Amino acid sequence: MILSLTLLLLCQLAGEILARTFALPVPGPVVGMALLLGVLILRDRRPSGLPTPMTDGTLERTGKGLLAHLSLLFVPAGAGVIGRLDVLAAHGLALALSLVVSTVFALVATVLTFSSVAKRTGR
């Protein structure tokens, strides 16, 4: 598990370094995920010679464990909202309205994108 966590964090660190060094318009963690995908593809093509945790499913179990506890990462954001209840009381209606409108726009954009891709692929 330690090796798996180390690999995940190293990929994220390398992605962050690449994104900042080359001023990429993509966030560092996204670049890190692409690097991790490359590592996994290489691992599956040549599994011999790699450490056991890379080939016995430990990396996958570590990733699933992190995803199972993903909601814990939202605790600081929730605490920040509770810490600023005065702003929420003063601008609550505007915040709620902007949240609803942005959600509707995101849903419409998703539907239009899906429809466009479905038409182009003939599905």
Of 52, 68, 84, the residue at which a domain comes to its end is 68
48 shares its domain with 14: yes
Average pLDDT over residues 89-116: 95
Among residues of the chain, what percentage have pLDDT more than 90? 52
- Check whether residue 22 and residue 61 sit in a common domain: yes
- Do 84 and 40 share a structural domain? no
Q: Is there a single domain that holds both residue 80 and residue 95?
A: yes
Tally the domains of the chain: 2
Tens-place pLDDT, residues 4-26: 899 999 999 999 999 999 999 99
Q: Higher confidence at residue 85 or residue 74?
A: 85
pTM: 0.59
Domain with 79, as residue range(s), is 72-123
pLDDT at site 71? 84
Considering 68, 86, 105, which residue would you say is the last residue of a domain?
A: 68
**Measured distance CA(70)–CA(92) in Å, rounded:** 27
Alpha-helical runs (H) found in the chain: 2-21, 28-45, 52-55, 58-68, 75-83, 85-121
Q: Are residues 43 and 101 in the same domain?
A: no
Q: Same domain, yes or no, for 86 and 30? A: no
The per-residue pLDDT for 41 is 87
Q: What is the pLDDT of residue 54?
A: 72
